[in-house]
Amino acid sequence: MRKDSFPKFKALLKKTEQIAILAHWSPDGDAMGSCLALSQFLTALGKKCKVIVPNAYPEFLYWLPGNKQVLNFETDANKVSKALQKADLIFTLDFNSLKRIESLGELVSKAKAPKVMIDHHQQPEDYAAYYFHDVKACSTCELVYDFIVGLGQKKLINAKIAACLYTGLMTDTGSFKFPSVSAKTHAILAELLKTGIQPSEIHSHVYDSYSYDRLRLLGYALSEKLVVLKDHPVAYFLITEKELEQFDYQKGDLEGIVNYPFSIKGIKVCALFNETKDYIKVSFRSKGTIDVNKFARAYFNGGGHVNAAGGRSDISLSKTEELFLNTIKTLF
């Protein structure tokens, strides 16, 4: 845990007017939920905020309050550059290395404004001036909630902010089933529900908005692409770019697929390798004390949490599979 004091944050915000809030590459529910919640909170304090993403995020998150004001670096590079130049404070949420925002990282590192990291991933880098970091938190949205409450501003958490926070808490815990869920998680949820949000509606926005092609892709992955190892309690998927095109792949269509093999009795590690135009995207999940964070850092240019991590491979899909099979024993 690495946290600066609330008096220090209060003093920092008091002298701040223009704020940039950044999510990681390929933002997920926790990244967007935490960024949009923080943005609305800081706006309520009278600050001018810009939420910035390095690239597109899934359409099933477009309903989130504040979504229409998000700047995408891939399509709005000039606006993003100006926002960073104007900012007198930069928040980086749900990531702890500037590598996680790809080419946007160079602009952020050059920006004169001090950086604040709010994150729950392991081994944070030292690019920030201020930290609100705790690996025990189930999500970055949990930390944003703590941040708001710690500043003495719990009364500002309205239904819009609560919906964003609930989304991050829900998606980053597998709908509250992962080991990271604690009594504190449920206590926060209880407070959020007091704002009038409807959990069933939020769940429906995120999980009941599949396209026909996305559902077909899931069926194809499970029936044709799932590999279960005989020597280790491991299951994985290898999906080519051509196969994704076959199902009119859209951002987010592979979300959650990596977890499905856990329904097979005895499986303790799941992996997904999907081909993109530039590299192989890698996702790992595990149960118990099996540390896929260290594994991803060691072999796949990535990292994350003990039980959930990601990375990338710059070799072919077949060579990536070979690397995985040759190194998987190190997990056990």
For the domain bounded by 212-331, which CATH number is listed?
Answer: 3.10.310.30
256 contact partners, CB below 8 Å, separation of at least 6: none
Q: Is the Cβ–Cβ distance between 239 and 275 less than 8 Å? A: yes
Alpha carbons 123 and 133: distance in angstroms, whole number = 10
Q: What is the 3-state composition of the chain as percent helix, strand, coil, each rounded to the nearest 5?
A: 45, 20, 35
Q: What is the pLDDT of residue 1?
A: 84
198 contact partners, CB below 8 Å, separation of at least 6: none
CA distances from 62 to 115, 188, 206, 251 (A): 27, 24, 10, 12
Query: Using N-to-C axis directions, what is the helix angle for 317-327 and 292-299, rounded to 10°?
Result: 130
CA distances from 50 to 23, 45, 73 (A): 11, 14, 12
Half-sphere exposure of 24 (CA within 13 A, CB side): 22
Nearest CA-CA partner of 31 in 41, 21, 44: 21
Amino acid at 91: F
226 contact partners, CB below 8 Å, separation of at least 6: 235, 236, 237, 260, 261
Residue numbers in the chain where pLDDT is lower than 70: none
Alpha carbons 167 and 313: distance in angstroms, whole number = 30
Q: Which CATH architecture has domain 2-207?
A: Alpha-Beta Complex (3.90)
Both tokens assigned to 222: 């499970």
Nearest CA-CA partner of 87 in 144, 131, 49: 49
Q: What is the pLDDT of residue 84?
A: 97
Q: What is the pLDDT of residues 157-213, one digit of tens each?
A: 999 999 999 999 999 999 999 999 999 999 999 999 999 999 999 999 999 999 999
Domain residue extents for the chain: 2-207, 212-331
CA distances from 314 to 165, 228, 278 (A): 34, 24, 8
